[in-house]
Structure 1
C-alpha cells in the first residue's frame, strides 16, 4: 500500500494528527484528508477504532489516512505523540471532557513541542462547566437530546432523533471549519490555538432557528412530523406512487398552487391578497389548503408533480431512495460515486470527494489501512531510529501491524 502521499488538494501543505473513534472527529480529519491534508490516525493498541466494527463504512471514513497504534497515555505513547505533533498543523482529540489534561497531556505540553499547533478538543459537553455533565459519556443522540434538537423533530406524540448520526456529522463540519479558522490565524501570528468544541453547542447552533422565537417571545412550535412548523404546503406529502418533498413559497408559487388544487377562488381575496408570499398555518383557510393539497397529491404520480411544480418555480422533489439516487443521470454526470480497492483487494464503491475544487481538487490516494499498518513508517518519518522502534515494540505500548 502506498505510504507517500501524492501532492493534491487545497490542504496539500497541512498535516493533521488525531486521536478519536467513530464519527465526529475522525470524519473531520477524513474530510481534510480528501482535500489533500496529510493525516495520521492514532488508534489504541487493543481493538483500535470502533469504526473498524462496521462492514463498509470504515472504507469510506478512514481512506487517505495512515494508522499508527499506540497507548497514547503511556510514557512511550506521550513521547511518540509529542514527536508527531512537532511538525503538525492540527491535532484533534475526542474524549470525555479534559481527559487528555487529566492524564498528563496538556495544551502547554503540546505547545512546547510545537508553539504553532492548533489543538481541537472534541467532547460531548466541553472541557469545563458542571463536572458531572462535563464527564458524562456522549454520543450524537445524547447531545442532540441535551441541545433540544430532538425535541424539535418527530410528531407531537413522539420526538425523533436526527438520523443517521447527524449530530456527529454536523460536528465534523464544525471541527473542520474551526480548525482551519484557527490555523489561518496561527500561520499569521505564529501562535497556536486551543479549541474547546462541545458537541451539544454545535447542535444548539444548528437548532437555533425556532429557539430565537422562544428566547424572545416565548413562542414554542409543536413538533411538525412530516410538515412545516408554521407554513402550509411545506413538507413531505404522499403521492399515488410514493412521497414528494414540497417547499411552496412566493407569490406566483402560491397562486399556482391554489389554482392547481382547486382553490383558485381564494387568490386575491381579503384572506389571501395577490401579494401573499407565505401560506401561514394560522391563516383562515390553512386546514382547507392542506386537505385539498393532500387530496390532489394522492391522485398524482410523484414524477409528474415534480415536473409540473418545478416548471412553475416551485421547489418540489420526489423523495429518493438509495436506488433512485444511483439511477439519477445528474448524479452520474457529476461523478458523485467512485470505486477503489480496499486493503484486502476487494472492490469498494463510495462517495467521491466533495465539494468540487476547480483548481485544487480533492482526491483518493489510499484505502483504509489495517490497524497499526503504518506504525513503523510513521515512526521513521518522525525521526525515530531502529533502536527507538525496538524499544517501543518491547514496551507493549506500541502495536505494529505490518
Structure 2
C-alpha cells in the first residue's frame, strides 16, 4: 500500500512514524498513533520475525499492528541502511525499542539520523534506559522484569510472607508505550516550532516508578513504607473485593459523602466517635475499620452483585461488579458506548476487540486496515522512495528484503 492510499482521518493524519522493534513497549507507542491517523511504517527484521507473528494467538497481532504498513529490511547491510535513512529523511518520529547503544553499534546514532533529518524526534524505549550503570544498560528486559526492578511488583501480591506478584497483561510494557507516545508527540510539536529534533530516553522501569502514586516519596521523604496488601487497599478500610451471592464486587468506601450516606445503609451512624464527621477515610486495622469491613462483608453476602452495586452507588458508595469478558460483552453500558468493535483480521476474517480509545469528537480515530503480512508493503514503500522494480528484485535476491504473505 502506498501512502496516497491511506485514508485521511484523525489529528495525526500528516505525521509519519517509523517504528522498529519487537513485542509491545516500543511498537505500541506507534500503534496508538496509527489509530489516530499517522502513517506508521513498521520495520521488521529479516532474521527474527515480530514475536506477535509467532505466538499461539493472532489477537495481539490483529490489535496492535492494524492501521500500519510494514517493511522487512536488513538495516545491517549498507544498502539496507541507505534505504532506512531515506525513510528517515521525511519522517517525523522514529521509535525503537532495544538495549542502550544498539543503534550506535549499527552506525546509526542520533547524530547520524539528525544529519539526515534535523527535525526528527527519536524515541528510545528500553528496559533500563540509555544512560546509567553499564551492567544494567547491557541487560534485556521484559514486562515482569521492569515490574520487579521498579518496585512495582513489590507492591503487588499477598502480604508478607506472601510472594510478590506481577500485574498481568504486560502492564509495564503498556505504561512505557504510553509514556513514549505522549513524549514523542510533545517533542514533535516543539520540533515543528523550532526546527530541531529531540532524543527521548524512555526506560520501562522509570515509567512504572511514575505510576506508584506517592509510595516512593513517602518512603524517601518520611520513611513511611506501604506494604503489600493483597486485593485490599493497604491503608483504607472498606476498599477491597467482597463476595456476594453470585460473584464479587469491589467497593471503595472513601470520602466524607460516602460515609454520610453509606454508613446508615450498613446500620452504622455517621458523626459518632467511631465515624466522626471530619473523617474522610476509615483506616484499616483500627476498631472502626474492622467494624466497617465486617458490616460490608455481611451486607454483600446477602445480596447479588447487581443488587449490591445498584444500592451502594445509590447511597454514594462507589462500587462495581468485578466483570469477566462475557459479562462485559453483554453489559448495557459497554453496548451503549460501543466499547467493543470488529475489524478485518490478518487471517481474512473479522476479529473483535476493544474500539479505539480515547474518543475524539471532532477528529476521531478509526480502524481502516488489518495487520499487514510480513513484508507486505516492501515494494510500495520502495517505489515511493524511487526504487525501480529491477532494483527491488535485486534487493530480495541479496536478502536485504524479505517477504512472507502467509503471515
Decide: shared fold, TM above 0.5. yes
Which of residues 240, 244, 250 in structure 2 aligns to 1:239? Answer: 244
Residue equivalent to 1:186:
191
Measure how far apart 1:2 and its partner are: 8.1
Residue equivalent to 1:291:
294
Are positions 1:371 and 2:374 aligned together? yes
Residue equivalent to 2:18:
17
Residue equivalent to 1:149:
152
Residue equivalent to 1:68:
71
The answer to whether the 8 A contact 1:66-1:369 is kept is yes
Residue equivalent to 1:31:
32
Which of residues 348, 351, 370 in structure 1 aligns to 2:351? Answer: 348
Question: 283-292 or 64-73: which moved more?
Answer: 283-292
Residue equivalent to 1:173:
178
After TM superposition, the runs of 4+ consecutive aligned structure 1 residues lying more than 6 A away are: none
Are positions 1:132 and 2:135 aligned together? yes
Which of residues 388, 394, 397 in structure 2 aligns to 1:394? Answer: 397
Structure 1: unaligned runs, 5 residues or longer: none
Partners of 1:202 and 1:325 in 2: how far apart? 29
Number of aligned residue pairs:
400
Are positions 1:225 and 2:230 aligned together? yes
- Secondary structure of the residue that 2:196 maps to in structure 1? coil
TM-score of the pair, normalised by structure 1: 0.96
Question: 42-51 or 334-343: which moved more?
Answer: 334-343
Structure 2: unaligned runs, 5 residues or longer: none
- Secondary structure of the residue that 2:210 maps to in structure 1? helix
The answer to whether the 8 A contact 1:48-1:69 is kept is no
1:24-69, Cα deviation, whole Å (9 max, x unpaired): 1111111100000000000111342111123222111100011100
Measure how far apart 1:296 and its partner are: 2.1
1:109-148, Cα deviation, whole Å (9 max, x unpaired): 1111111000001110011211110111100110110000
Measure how far apart 1:387 and its partner are: 4.2
Partners of 1:143 and 1:287 in 2: how far apart? 36
RMSD value, Cα: 1.6
Measure how far apart 1:314 and its partner are: 1.7
Residue equivalent to 1:253:
258
The answer to whether the 8 A contact 1:95-1:122 is kept is yes
1:176-223, Cα deviation, whole Å (9 max, x unpaired): 100001001100000000011111110111124222211111111221
